[in-house]
Amino acid sequence: MLFNLLPHLVNGLTLGLLFALIALGFMLILGLMEQINLAHGSLFALGAYFAFVIATPRLPWPELNQAWATVPLGWRYTAALLLAPVLVAPVGLVIERLMRRTYGRDPLYGLLLTFGIALVLEDAIRTVWGTRDYSLPVPRDISGGFFLLDLIWSRYRFWAAAFAIAAMAVVWVVVERTRFGAMVKAGAHDSEMVQAMGVDIRKLRAGVFALGTMLAALAGVIMAPVWGIRPHMGVDAVVPAFVIIVLGGVGSFWGAVLAGLMVGMVVGLSGAYASEWSLLSMYLLLILVVTFRARGLFGKKSLLEA
Amino acid sequence: MPDTARAHLVRTFTPTMLLTWAVLATLPFWVERVGLYQYLAVEVLIWATYALAFNLVLGHAGLPSFGHGAFFGIGAYAFGLAQFNIAANLWVCLAAALLAAGMAGALVGLFISHRRGIYFALMTIAFGQVFWFIAVKAHAITGGEDGLLRIVRLPVELGVAAIPLEDNLSLYYGVLAVFVLVSLGLWRLVHSPFGRVVKAIKQNEQRARFIGYDVWKAKFAVIVLSAALSGLAGGLFAMAQRSAFPDVMSLHFSGYIVMMTLVGGGLVSFWGPVAGVVAFLLARDLIGAVTTGWMLWFGMLFVVLVMFRPDGLAGIAAGLRAAIAPPPRAGGG
Amino acid sequence: MAPLFEARGLHLRFGDRVVLEDVSLAFPAGTLSGIMGPNGAGKTTCFNVLTGRYRPDRGQVLFGGRDITGMAPHRIARLGIARSFQLMNLFDEFSVFENVAVALPATRRRVADPVGRAYGEPATVAAAMAVLERVGLADRADQPAKSLPYGARRALEIAVALASDPQLLFLDEPTAGLGSDGRARLAELIRALKRHVTIVVIEHDMDFLFGLADEISVIHWGQVIARGTPAELKANPWVMASKLGDGA
Amino acid sequence: MRDNGISRRRVMQGSLMAAALAGGATMFGPWKHNRVWAQGAAKPIKLGLTCDASGQYGASGQDDLLGMRMAIEEFNAKGGVLGRKIEWITTDTETNPATATRVAERFIAQEQCAFLIGAVHSGVANAITQVAAKYGTVYMNTNSSAPSEAGENCSRIKFVWDGNGTNFSKAAVRNAVEGIGKRWLLLTNDYVWGHTTAASTKALAEAAGAQIIDNLLVPQNTRDFTSYLLKVQQLKPDVVATAIGGDDLKALRQQITDLRLEERTAWINNQQDWPDIWGAPESLFGVFGTTWYHKLKLPGVDEFVKRWQAAFPKSPIPVPGNVSYNGYMATRELLRAVERAGTTNNGKVIAALEGHKMPAADRMQHFDAYIDAATHQVQQTIYLARRNAKPSDKTDLYEILSQTAPANALDAAAPTKCKLVAMERVPTYEM
C-alpha cells in the first residue's frame, strides 16, 4: 500500500512546489501592498507567451529571427527564462500605474480593476496569438523521463520543482534579509514611516509590483511545458493562486508555501484515488480550513477585512 | 421638522421607476426597428432582474460577491428539475428556483456572513467554483456540460385561464411582470427599516453593532434574499433558453454580473444595474457582431470606469444632471 | 445600593503583553465617571472590554446586577449601554438625521421589517429630531454626515450613541481634536446629558474631566492606580506629578 | 414569408411603429452582412454560421467556418442556388451553450436566416438545436461528435455530419483486443461525451473478450496528468483507451510523448480533430480516428486541398482537416438539397436530405456515405491513423492505418434512442 502511495506523495510534493511558485507573486503584492491582483494570471500567461516567442523562436523581425533560430535550443530556452519576466515587468508597471487610483479606497476597487485588466489581457492575447495551443520547447537535458520507484517520471517536473524552490528562496532572502525587503514590509504597515525614512513610497510600490509581475511571468515560463500555452491559462493559474493565498493566510510567506504543498498533495492524491474529485478537492480543502481558521493557516489581521 | 420628515419619506412609485417600466413595456414594439431582436429583450430583462438582486449584496450591503452565478445557475436547474420531477407548473417551478437558490444562499451565508472585504470575495469565489463544479459533475441530475435540455416555457396558470409564454413576445411580458414585482419589492426593501440598517452596516459595521444590530444576521438575510431572487432570475433564464447550462455559474459569468452592476452604477443608484445590463448586453451584441474580441473593448471601458467613475453610468448621469441644473436637496432617491 | 455598572478583576492579554491587570471599576447610577490615563495605558481597551468588543481573559462585567461578560456588542447595546468612539465612527453616506434615526430603538424594533417605510412614523422623526435638538444639530438634519465640520461631527458621534436612549453612555475621548471653544460647548452638552443618563468618559484632558466628573479612575500600565473625586486627585501629588492629563 | 404567426405580428408591429414614427427614418442593425446580391435580384438565401471563435473550441470553430465559406463561395460562383445568391453571417458562439442560444435566436428571428450551420461542442449543438426546433429551422451540426447527438438528443431539423465516439470505437476496438491484449484501462473525461464514449468502448471491448481493469475519470480542464499517468503505470494495462477531449487531450498527449509512455503501453484514442493536432504535432501518439485526411490517396483530394488553400491563404492552419471538411460537406450537401427540393421550404429540404446517398468519390472518402433517415447522422467511412514516421511534408502528420465501411462502424443502439418528431409537428417556413 505504502509503496503504491509513495509515487503519488512525491507527485503531490512537486506539484505543490509549483503551485506555491504560481502563488508567490500574488502573495507578494497582496501581502505587502494589500492589493489583490486578479491580473496575476494574465501576467503568468504573458510570461509563457513571451517565452514561446523567444524560444521557438517567433520574433517579429524576420532577419533577427533567422539568426536567432540557429542558436541551440538550450540557449534560447535560457534566454526565454531570463528575458520573458523582464519583458512582462513593464506590463505589471502599467497595471500598478492604473491601480494607483484605487490606493486608499476600498480594496474592492483594486480587485475589480484587475479583473477588468485580466479580461482585457486575455482577449489581447487571443487577438495577437489566436485561440490555439502552443507548446514551449524544452532542451533535451531537462525533458523526457527517468526511472524512479519502477516508474517513469517526467524529468522536467523535478527540474521545475527545484527551480520553484530556488525562486522561493530568492524571494525569501529579498523580503527578509535586504533593506529593500525591510522597507517594503514597513511600507505595507506604515507608509508615513517609510516616507519619513526618505523613501519614495510610489517607487517602492512600483518595485514590489514589478517583482510580483516578474514572479508571475517566471511561473508562467516554468509551467508552460506542463500546462501548455493558451489564452485561458491565466485563469487556470490565478484560481489556485488565490486558493493558496487564502489557505495560507494573507501576508504569510511560509503560509503560502505550506498551503501550496497541501493543495499539491490533495490534488495529487485525489487524482490517483478519487480522480473525479481532484479539481474540487482544493476548494473543499479551502472551505474546510477557513471554516476553522478564519484567516487561513498563518494569516494576520489585515486592512483587507475592512 | 416637516422638511426633514418629507426628505426621508420615499414614495412607492417614483418617476424613474415608472419611466423605466414604461420604456420596458413598449420595448417589443420598437426593438426590431433599432436592429435588435425580441429574444435579446427577454435576456436583458432577465439579467436586469438578476442584477437588481445582485446589487442587494454589492451595492446595498457592500458585500463583494464573486460567486453569484452559482445562485443564478441553481435557480435555472431547479426550475428545470421541478418541471421534470415535481410538476410542470409555472408557479411550482419558479418557487423551486427561488427556494433552491435561497437554500444555497443560506448554506453559503453560514460560512461567509461574518467575513469581510476581500476575504468575503475570495470565499464567494471558492463557493461559486464548488457549485459550478458540482453542476458540471452531477450529470445524472444536471446533464453536465450538455445541459439540462427540453425545459418548457410554461404557461401562466391563473385558475380560470392560462396564458401561454411560448413565443418570445409573450415570454417578454411574463418576465416583465416578474421584473416589475422584483424591482418594486427591492425598492420597498432598500427603504424599509431592514434596508436602511443593511445600508448602515455597509457604511460602518462596527458602529451598527454598537447601536444594537446583529450584523451577521442582517448580512445573512441579505445574502439569502439576494441568492433567492437571483435564483428566480435563473429560473426565468431556463425558460428563455429552454435549458440550463453550467456556464452561467462559472467564474467569468459571476464576474460579468459584477461588471454589469458596477458599470451601471449599482454602488450609487438603485436603477444603475439595469442600465449596466443594457450597456453590457448591447455592447456584447453590437461589438460582438463586428469582432470576436469584444471583451477587449468592453474590458477597457470597464477599467476606465473603475478608475475614474466607480459610480458608473448612474454617476455620469448624475454628473450631467448636476451640470445642467443646480442639485436638488438631498433625499431618498 | 449596587452600582449600575460594575467590572470586577478584569484581566486581558494580547499575546505576551498584559493589557489589563485586575481592573475593577464601578459606576453608580446618575453619576458621571471619568477614566484617565496616558496614551497606551489601556483606557480604550478597557472600554472595549466593558462594551463587549473584547472578551476578558478573567473577570466579570455586570450591568444592573446582570453578568454581561463576553456578551456580543449588539446584545449589550440592546440592554441600554451605548458608546461613542474616539476615532469618529459615523454612517458617512447617511444624512445627519438618518445617522440618528437608524440608531433609535423604534427603528431597531422594526429591523426585521423589509417592506414598511423606514422612519415613516411621525413619532420616529420627532424622536430623532429631539436627539439632534439636544446636541444642537437639528438645523443640519438634512446635510450629509460627511459634509459636517469637525466639531459638529463630534456632536453627531454623541448623538448616535444617545439615540438608542441608553441608561449608560460611554464616551471615548469626546474632546479629541477639538479646540477650546468646542470643548466648552461639549462640556456644556455633557453636563446637560448628565441629568438623564449615567455617563462614563475617557479623557486625556484633565481639566475637562475635573470640571465634569463626580469620580475619576486613573489607569496606567493596565492597572487602576488611583481613584477619587476630582478634588481628591488634585490633592494627590503623585497623580499630578505624572502629568497624566498632559497631551490633549 | 413564414407561414406561422410570426410574420403577421411583425407586419402589425411594423405598422404600429410606422404610425408612431409618422414616417420617420427606419434604422438598420449594425450587423456585418456579406451582401453579394445586386439591386433588384432575387432575395438571397441567408445562412447563419454558428461557429465558436473563443473558448475551448475557438480554433476548431474557425476552421469549421472556412469549410462552410468555401462551399458557399463555390455555389455563388456558379450563380447561387435556385437563382438566388447565398449570404452568410457568423457570430462567436464562445463554446458556450447560453451564448449559442442567443446567437441562434438572433440568426433566426432577427437575421432571418434560412438555415443554421456549425457546432463543435455538444452543449452548443444542443442549445442551437432547441432554438432551431422551435422555429423549424434546419440545422447542420458539423463537428460535434457526442453519440447522444444522433441518439437521445437527435432532432428532425438537425443533421449530424461527424462520425461519433461509437463509430470510432467500433472501428478500433475489436482489432486492438485481438492484436494487442486483453487488459484494458479506460481514461475518460468526466462529462457526457467522455462517459458515453467510454461506455461504448467498454461494451465493445468486453464483447471482444477484454477485461476493463479500471476507468480513471479525468475532470474537464485537467492540465497536469501526472497522477493519472503514474496510476496507469502502476496498473500495467495492455491497452489504454482514452476518451479525452479538446484541450485536455492536447495536454495529455504532450505529457505522454514527453515521457515516451507510448512505447510501454498501446494507446487508443477516439477521434482527434485536425485543429487540435496542428497546434502540437510532435505530441501525436497512439492510434486514433478521423473521418478525413488531406493526403488521402483518392481522386479529387489534392484538387480540393488546392482550392481550399487558394481560398484561404491566410488560414492559421495551412491545409484543410476533418473539421473544415465536415463544414464544407455539410454546407454543400445542404445547398444541394435545396436545389433538389427546388425550394427553401424546410419540410422539403429535410425530405431531400433524409436517406440521401453520397457517392464515395463525391465525398472524397473510401466508401459511399448516406444520411441515416432514422437518426439524421451521416454514416461514413471511419479511418484509423497513427503518427506518421515518414512525413512527406510538414503537414503530413498521419499515417492512415485502415478504413472502415459505414456498415461496420454503425451505432446499432442509436435508432432506439433517437425519437424524431413527425414532420407535421415541425413549424414550416420558406424563405
Domain that holds residue D56: 5-20+40-163+301-380+413-425
Residues D176 and D143 in one domain: no
Predicted pLDDT at D28: 38
Looking at the predicted structure, is the pLDDT value of residue C237 above 80? no
CATH of A2-305, one of 2.40.160, 1.10.890, 3.30.420, 1.10.3470: 1.10.3470
Domain C1-80+166-248, what architecture?
Answer: 3-Layer(aba) Sandwich (3.40)
- Helices within D78-210 (DSSP H only): 97-105, 122-135, 165-179, 192-207
In B57-204, beta strands by DSSP E: 156-157, 162-163
How far apart are the C-alpha atoms of C28 and C22, rounded to whole Å? 20
Highest mean pLDDT of the ranges B14-18, B147-151, C109-113, D125-129:
D125-129
Please judge whether A283 and B122 are an interchain contact, meaning their C-beta atoms are less than 8 angstroms apart: no
Q: Does pLDDT of D6 surpass 50? A: no
Tell me whether chains B and C touch (3+ CB pairs under 8 A). Answer: yes
Judged against a pLDDT cut of 70, whether residue A60 lies above it is answered with yes
Radius of gyration of chain C (CA): 18
What DSSP letter does each residue of C85-145 carry, written as one string?
A: -SS----TTSBHHHHHHTTSHHHHHTTT-SSSPTT-SHHHHHHHHHHHHHHT-GGGTTSBG
Question: In the Cβ-directed half-sphere of B16, how many Cα atoms lie within 13 Å?
Answer: 16
Q: pTM of the full predicted structure?
A: 0.87
A232 near B CB under 8 A: no
Query: Does B306 lie at the interface with D, CB-CB under 8 angstroms?
Result: no
Touching B: A residues 167-206, CB under 8 Å: none
Residue with cell 501576467: A43
Q: Do A154 and D255 touch (CB under 8 A)?
A: yes
Residue A288 near chain B (CB below 8 Å): no
Nearest CB to D27 within list B35, B169, B242: B35
Q: Of D290, D321, D350, which one is at a domain's C-terminal end? A: D290
Distance CA B307, CA A101 (A): 6
Helices B15-30 and B38-55 pack at an angle, to 10 degrees, of 160
Domain range summary for chain A, segments of one domain joined by +? 2-305
Can you tell me the ipTM of this complex? 0.84
> Between the CA of residue B142 and those of A279, A302, B127, B139, D165, what are the distances in Å?
18, 40, 18, 5, 22
Yes or no, beta carbons of A226 and D261 under 8 Å apart: no
With CB atoms and an 8 Å threshold, state whether B307 touches A113: yes
pLDDT at B326: 57
* Among candidate residues D143, D371, B329, A230, the one with its CA nearest the CA of residue C97: B329
State residue D5's pLDDT score: 38
Domain count, chain D: 2
The answer to whether the Cβ–Cβ distance between B168 and D191 falls below 8 Å is no
Q: Does C83 sit within 8 Å of B196, measured CB to CB?
A: no
D186 and D228 fall within a common domain = yes
CATH number at residue D141: 3.40.50.2300
Which pLDDT score, from 0 to 100, does residue B69 have? 96
| Chain D residues near residue A152 by CB distance under 8 angstroms | 233, 259-261, 264
**Range with the poorest average pLDDT among A181-185, A207-211, B137-141:** A181-185
In chain D, the residue whose alpha carbon lies closest to the alpha carbon of A265 is D227
CB pairs under 8 A between A and B: 108
- pLDDT value at position D94? 85
- Distance, in angstroms, between D63 CA and closest chain A CA? 11
Nearest Cβ partner of B121 from A111, A235, A294?
A: A111
**Which string of b and e fits D179-194 if b means at least 16 CB within 10 Å?**
ebebbbbbbbbbbbbb
Phi then psi for residue C101, to 5 deg, are -60, -35
Q: Tell me D316's DSSP state.
A: S
D133 with D171, same domain: the answer is no
D219, D224, D234 ranked by CB distance to A15: nearest: D224
Does any CB of chain A come closer than 8 Å to the CB of residue B258?
Answer: yes
Neighbours of chain B (3+ CB pairs under 8 A): A, C, D
Chains in contact with C, where contact requires at least 3 CB pairs less than 8 Å apart: B
Tell me which residue has cell 391563473: B158
**Which of B8, B269, B270 is the best substitution to test chain C (most C C-beta atoms within 10 A)?**
B8
Question: What are the pLDDT digits (tens) for A268-295?
Answer: 888 888 877 777 888 888 888 887 877 7
Asked if A111 is an interface residue toward chain B (Cβ–Cβ < 8 A), one would say yes
Is chain C in touch with chain A: ≥3 Cβ pairs within 8 A? no
Residues of B in contact with C138 (CB under 8 A): 1
Pairwise CA distance, residues D151 & B185, whole Å: 45
- Top-confidence range, B117-121, D169-173, D302-306: D302-306
Residue D238 has which C-alpha cell?
495492455
- Give me D67's grid cell: 469549410
Positions of E strands within chain A: 145-148, 151-154
Query: Is the distance from CB of C248 to CB of C205 less than 8 angstroms?
Result: yes
- How many angstroms separate the CA atoms of A197 and B324, rounded? 48
From the list A153, A228, A275, which residue is nearest D228 (CB)? A275
Reported as a pLDDT band with limits 50, 70 and 90, residue A301 is low
Burial (Cβ within 10 Å: 0-12, 13-18, ≥19) of residue D361 = exposed
With CA atoms as reference, the chain A residue closest to D317 would be A132
CB contact under 8 A, C78 and B3: no
Residue D377 pLDDT > 70 = yes
In this predicted structure, what is the pLDDT of residue A138? 86
Scanning C78-107 for CB atoms below 8 A from B yields 78, 82-83, 85, 89-95, 97-98, 101-103, 107
CB contact under 8 A, A120 and B296: yes
Contacts of residue B228 in chain C, CB cutoff 8 Å?
Answer: none
Residue ranges of chain C assigned to CATH 3.40.50.300: 1-80+166-248
- Counting CB pairs under 8 A, whether chains D and C reach 3 or more, is no
- Cβ contacts of B4 on chain C, cutoff 8 Å: 97, 125, 129, 141-142
Query: Taking a contact as any Cβ pair under 8 Å apart, which residues of chain B between 145 and 164 contact chain D?
Result: 145-147, 149-150
The pLDDT assigned to A1 comes to: 58
Residue B3 CA to residue B15 CA, distance in Å, equals: 21
pLDDT digits (tens, 9 = 90+) for D221-244: 787 888 888 888 888 899 999 988
Kindly state the average pLDDT of the residues C72-101. 89
What does the pLDDT read at residue B3? 57
Using the predicted structure, report yes or no on whether residue D376 has a pLDDT greater than 60: yes
Tell me which chain D residues have a C-beta less than 8 angstroms from the C-beta of B240. Answer: 101
Q: Which of D258, D290, D322 is the last residue of a domain?
A: D290
D155 CB within 8 Å of a chain B CB: no
Radius of gyration (C-alpha) of chain D in whole angstroms: 22
Beta bridge mates, A151: A148
pLDDT at position B225: 97
Residues of chain B positioned with their CB less than 8 A from the CB of C93: 199, 203
Residues comprising chain D, all counted:
431
Is position D240 within any domain? yes
Least Cα distance to A43 among A102, A86, A106 occurs for A86
Alpha-carbon gap: B309 to the closest alpha carbon of chain D (Å): 28
Report d(CA D163, CA D385) in Å as an integer: 15
Nearest to A295 by CA among A16, A30, A18: A30
Q: Mean pLDDT, to the nearest integer, of D411-420?
A: 90
CB pairs B-C closer than 8 Å = 120
Does one domain contain both D132 and D13?
yes
Local confidence pLDDT in tens for the 333 residues of chain B: 445 555 556 677 888 899 999 999 999 988 888 888 899 999 999 999 999 999 999 999 999 899 999 999 999 999 999 999 999 999 999 999 999 999 999 999 998 888 777 778 888 988 998 899 889 888 889 888 778 988 999 999 888 888 999 889 999 999 999 999 999 999 999 999 999 999 999 999 989 999 999 999 999 999 999 999 999 999 999 999 999 999 899 888 999 999 999 889 888 899 999 999 999 999 888 887 777 677 888 899 899 988 888 888 888 888 888 887 754 544 443
Give me the mean pLDDT over the D173-183 stretch: 86
Q: Which of D267, D290, D313 is where one domain is finished?
A: D290
Please state, for a pLDDT cut of 90, what percent of chain D lies above it: 52
Q: Which of B10, B191, B196 sits opposite C102 (nearest CB)?
A: B196
- Are B192 and C113 within 8 A, CB to CB? yes
Any domain includes D405: no
C-alpha cell, B196: 436602511
| pLDDT digits 0-9 by tens, D32-68 | 343 343 444 578 999 999 999 877 788 899 999 999 9
Contacts of C73 in chain B (CB under 8 A): 209-210
Does the distance separating the beta carbons of A120 and B300 come in below 8 Å?
yes
D175-194 residues touching B, CB cutoff 8 A: 190-193
The angle that helices B168-190 and B215-241 make with each other, rounded to 10 degrees, is 170
Model pLDDT, residue D9: 39
pLDDT of residue A189: 59
CB of C90 closer than 8 Å to CB of C143: no
D45 assigned to some structural domain: yes
